[in-house]
Structure 1
Amino acid sequence: MTPKAGIDLERLERWSKHLRETYLDTGILPNALTLVYRRGEVVYQDKQGWADIERGISLREDSIFRIYSMTKPITSLALMMLVEEGQVTLSDPVSAYIPAWAGLEVYAGGEYGAYQTAPPTRPMQVVDLLRHTAGLSYFIQQGGKLDAAYRSLGLGTKTTLEEFITQLGTLPLEFSAGEAWHYSAATDVVGYLVGLISGQPFEQFVKERILLPLGMTDTDFWVPPEKAERFMTCYALTEQGRVVFDDVQRSPYLAPPHFVSGGGGLVGTAADYLRFCRMLLRGGELDGVRLVGPKTLELMTMNHLPNGADMAALARSPIALSESGSVGVGFGLGFAVTLDPARTLTQGNAGDFYWGGAAGTYFWVDPKEDLAVIFMTQLLFSPDRIRRTLRTMVYSALTDRLHETQA
């Protein structure tokens, strides 16, 4: 089989076989859709499984997925668009926009309702929100003293975005800004800042300034009735096996959200997210529409962790490590960034960047290879190994390097 865009498709078909035999036939994954894009074309597309197992509905190429934390890079880009316009800078204290946070202190002991606190070593800056060094936590975290308070207050679940910001201001920080990397609700705060600074609702800004200009017409914070037939059930992997987590016919995504989450609220198709990745691959422009300049995107995909550390050195919780790989991986302004492929023990290039979502979705962009890959499924707590194997099989199928074709 002749290679296409420098990819041996016969070797790449091993990924389809591996998925089917290891994850689909065994009942682990309900479905899987993979897109591989290189040198200006989709060179590989594979879909398998069911959008709704119980009702016997097959996965479609245009099925709509919950992308959860793959929302974060889109939200981060929205804020960087405002940085380009001079409306905010990365070094600004967050309290300049949320004055009630000016007195936030750091947790020093005690339980919810009777916390002991101490002053932070420095103010939280906007950059801390983008790189998860702000000292905030997350309702999905399980390791710290503050995580239970996030859950009991319904932060990110039961509140509106405005109530979320107010309630966060009543809790101490996990640590002083810049001292650690802790995967957190910080990107939801970024979404709030986008709305506050732009003067329009966050979801409206995202739609008008990013989604529609890029032609991401099936991506939104909810699924309207005319698209409901393409929406999917979401499953979860438990000790008892795979179970239904969010039934498509009763999903909260079928109505506009109470809490508009910049950290995890979007749903969309694989084809839509590929358009976002193509824009990233082209330095902020797609089909004549430029969202940000190349230097802005270059800044976003550098490692911004203090002292050039990787996430393994600074991470505070197991969930932070499993989300990203962490060893040999830094974090930029909305993306994980590969620093040293040898330390990650996975194929790739220094400078490739990526992120994933809670339901097993994953993407990465590798500018050195002119490569973007999208993986979609709908399974909470899906095995991390899937992502690493996908990277291995895609890079193993490359038959040349981009620089060799340009020599």
Structure 2
Amino acid sequence: MAFRSFENSQISRRSLLRGSAMVGAGLALTAHPFGRMAFARTSQWPNVLATVEDYVSSGKVANMIAALGWGQGEAEVIARGKLAFDSMVDADMDSLYRIYSMTKPVTGMAAMMLVEDGTIALDQPVADFIPGFASMMVQKEYDGSIGDENLEPAKTAVTVRMLMTHTAGLGYGIIQKGPIVKAFEEKGLIPGQVSRFPIPGLSRAKPTDSLEKFADGIAELPLVYQPGTKWSYSVGLDVLGRVIEVASGMPFDAFLKARIFEPCGMRSTWFQVPESEKARLTTNYGVAGGMVLPIDPGMNSIYLDKPGFPFGGAGLVSSTRDYDRFQRMLVGKGMIDGTRVMAEATVLQGTSNLLPENVDLTGTWVAGQGFGAGGRVTGAAYGWGGAAGTTAFVDMASGLRAVNMTQYSPSEAYPIQREFPEIVLKDLALRSEAY
């Protein structure tokens, strides 16, 4: 495929880095009259297959991989395309993808492990771990001035629960507008990365060089809502990474490796892709004005560089196989391959609705739904999506687990991320009719 210049089109930083609302994953799969055992005799997912083939054959994306499984069984894999449009290497279960905000459920479950350990509590003040949160100020006018004239004291403490459910009142550079965004950039409070190269409309601000500095810097800026009052997509999971670090006494990335990646057998999940593994890394493409252009080539990716700090909200690169293993552990209620990673009660709590009472969801991505440890909850379904088109969810009642990997930004450029769970549901309905 030949690529043209962006000409006058721009991809905004907000669009590139925004984690998907993953509307479709809110489907209550278990409300339908079928269960896992009814489908053991077939391996066909015709609508998923047709969708994957259409996206790749039409040139919308260079590759797409769907992995669907039940309980602890092997995933059924549908893989099409190459690592990049100009690559000769097939994309497969071990190809590497920037999962962006699909990092959030991983961070959320890591925090739940410390709740299980008794090291932290859901309703414990964040100030117990990050002292600067003891005296937070809040904007009176949303996205207005950050000067004293527009600030008032927080009426309640920011808690661990609020961090993991986006109800702490924290801002996000990809959501906010006005002076607070400039302050984020000036202080290096940048919880993500896109490319080594300049991209029109994308800030070139660089992240600060430690998670401690990031969290302390966030505490110095005002909240955009009073804590516990409004669901607002935020840096909460990034700050939660610092809470995990302080509470555990381990660097955040080391904690994830020791408590989640190694026991789950996730051998291809990193904040920095090792040089030895870069041949597996897909290319991320920007979609704008009908054009598809490489913005982060796999062989020259920013994910080969050490990040300023481990981004607990949007920093991981992973494979379809690895994320499926993470979800196998979840539907196994903490168990995978005979290894107990988390207590059953902890997984069930983390995948349930953890929203504070009376929080306002009006007009948000989760209106009429719930939110757990870093992911959306509707009925027994739990999951989230990423800014480069990836999406994943589990259904805790039926044991269904589903992952769809591809690489394009912004995620709303195509409807696949929103529609993927609905497509899965169509195939389940076809199977139900066959029995």
**Shorter-chain TM-score range:** 0.7 to 0.9
- Where does residue 281 of structure 1 map in the other structure? 331
Over 3 Å counting, the alpha-carbon distance change for 1:398 and 1:153 in structure 2 is: same
Q: d(CA) in 2 for partners of 1:294 and 1:53? A: 43
- Where does residue 94 of structure 1 map in the other structure? 126
SS state of the match for residue 368, structure 1?
coil
Identify the match of residue 222 of structure 1 among 264, 269, 272: 272
Offset of 1:253 from its aligned partner? 1.3
Higher RCO, 1 vs 2 (CA within 8 Å, ≥6 residues apart):
2
> Is residue 111 of structure 1 aligned with residue 145 of structure 2?
yes
- Where does residue 284 of structure 2 map in the other structure? 234
Offset of 1:249 from its aligned partner? 2.4
AA paired with 2:368?
G
- Assess if the C-alpha contact under 8 Å between 2:161 and 2:356 holds in 1: no
Offset of 1:73 from its aligned partner? 1.0
Q: d(CA) in 2 for partners of 1:310 and 1:367? A: 26
> Is residue 179 of structure 1 aligned with residue 229 of structure 2?
yes
Q: d(CA) in 1 for partners of 2:148 and 2:88? A: 52
- Assess if the C-alpha contact under 8 Å between 1:104 and 1:172 holds in 2: yes
Q: d(CA) in 2 for partners of 1:286 and 1:94? A: 31
Q: d(CA) in 1 for partners of 2:179 and 2:422? A: 38
When structure 1 is superposed on structure 2, of 374-383 and 299-308 the one drifting more is: 299-308
> Is residue 359 of structure 1 aligned with residue 401 of structure 2?
no
SS state of the match for residue 124, structure 1?
coil
How many corresponding residue pairs?
379
- Where does residue 415 of structure 2 map in the other structure? 385
- Where does residue 115 of structure 2 map in the other structure? 83
Over 3 Å counting, the alpha-carbon distance change for 1:62 and 1:178 in structure 2 is: same
Q: d(CA) in 2 for partners of 1:390 and 1:179? A: 31
AA paired with 1:367?
M
Over 3 Å counting, the alpha-carbon distance change for 1:354 and 1:88 in structure 2 is: same
> Is residue 15 of structure 1 aligned with residue 44 of structure 2?
no
Offset of 1:4 from its aligned partner? 8.7
Q: d(CA) in 1 for partners of 2:300 and 2:431? A: 47
- TM-score relative to the length of structure 2: 0.81
Identify the match of residue 181 of structure 2 among 130, 143, 147: 147
Over 3 Å counting, the alpha-carbon distance change for 1:252 and 1:387 in structure 2 is: closer
- Where does residue 73 of structure 1 map in the other structure? 105
Offset of 1:57 from its aligned partner? 3.6
Offset of 1:66 from its aligned partner? 0.9
Offset of 1:239 from its aligned partner? 2.3
- Where does residue 372 of structure 1 map in the other structure? 401
- Assess if the C-alpha contact under 8 Å between 1:191 and 1:202 holds in 2: yes
- Where does residue 342 of structure 1 map in the other structure? none
Over 3 Å counting, the alpha-carbon distance change for 1:394 and 1:274 in structure 2 is: same
Over 3 Å counting, the alpha-carbon distance change for 1:167 and 1:220 in structure 2 is: same
- Where does residue 394 of structure 1 map in the other structure? 424
Over 3 Å counting, the alpha-carbon distance change for 1:85 and 1:294 in structure 2 is: same
Q: d(CA) in 1 for partners of 2:403 and 2:111? A: 23
Offset of 1:5 from its aligned partner? 5.9
Offset of 1:393 from its aligned partner? 2.5
- Assess if the C-alpha contact under 8 Å between 1:105 and 1:117 holds in 2: yes
Offset of 1:150 from its aligned partner? 2.1
Structure 1 residues 329-368: aligned runs within 5 Å:
329-338=369-378, 350-368=379-397
Q: d(CA) in 1 for partners of 2:71 and 2:425? A: 15
SS state of the match for residue 225, structure 2?
coil
- Assess if the C-alpha contact under 8 Å between 1:222 and 1:254 holds in 2: yes
Identify the match of residue 159 of structure 1 among 201, 204, 208: 208
- Where does residue 73 of structure 2 map in the other structure? 41
Q: d(CA) in 2 for partners of 1:331 and 1:192? A: 21
SS state of the match for residue 18, structure 1?
helix
Q: d(CA) in 2 for partners of 1:275 and 1:233? A: 23
When structure 1 is superposed on structure 2, of 112-121 and 355-364 the one drifting more is: 112-121
Q: d(CA) in 1 for partners of 2:150 and 2:177? A: 18
Over 3 Å counting, the alpha-carbon distance change for 1:252 and 1:398 in structure 2 is: same
Q: d(CA) in 2 for partners of 1:46 and 1:30? A: 14
When structure 1 is superposed on structure 2, of 272-281 and 386-395 the one drifting more is: 386-395
Offset of 1:28 from its aligned partner? 2.0
Identify the match of residue 63 of structure 1 among 74, 90, 95: 95
Provide Cα deviations, 1:268-288, integer angstroms capped at 9, x if missing partner: 110111111011001111122
- Where does residue 219 of structure 2 map in the other structure? 169
Offset of 1:134 from its aligned partner? 0.5
Q: d(CA) in 2 for partners of 1:53 and 1:401? A: 34
AA paired with 2:384?
W
Offset of 1:130 from its aligned partner? 0.9
Offset of 1:375 from its aligned partner? 0.5
Q: d(CA) in 1 for partners of 2:130 and 2:271? A: 24
- Assess if the C-alpha contact under 8 Å between 1:180 and 1:314 holds in 2: no
Over 3 Å counting, the alpha-carbon distance change for 1:149 and 1:89 in structure 2 is: same
SS state of the match for residue 172, structure 1?
coil
Over 3 Å counting, the alpha-carbon distance change for 1:285 and 1:39 in structure 2 is: closer
SS state of the match for residue 77, structure 1?
helix
SS state of the match for residue 175, structure 2?
coil
Gaps of 5+ in 2: 1-35, 192-205
- Where does residue 171 of structure 2 map in the other structure? 137
Over 3 Å counting, the alpha-carbon distance change for 1:132 and 1:83 in structure 2 is: same
- Where does residue 26 of structure 1 map in the other structure? 58
Offset of 1:153 from its aligned partner? 3.0
RMSD between aligned residues = 2.5
Provide Cα deviations, 1:296-319, integer angstroms capped at 9, x if missing partner: 1222122222447684x263xxxx
Q: d(CA) in 1 for partners of 2:176 and 2:131? A: 29
Offset of 1:219 from its aligned partner? 0.9
- Assess if the C-alpha contact under 8 Å between 2:229 and 2:358 holds in 1: no
Over 3 Å counting, the alpha-carbon distance change for 1:374 and 1:216 in structure 2 is: same
Over 3 Å counting, the alpha-carbon distance change for 1:107 and 1:219 in structure 2 is: same
Q: d(CA) in 2 for partners of 1:4 and 1:120? A: 51
Q: d(CA) in 1 for partners of 2:245 and 2:297? A: 31
- Where does residue 26 of structure 2 map in the other structure? none
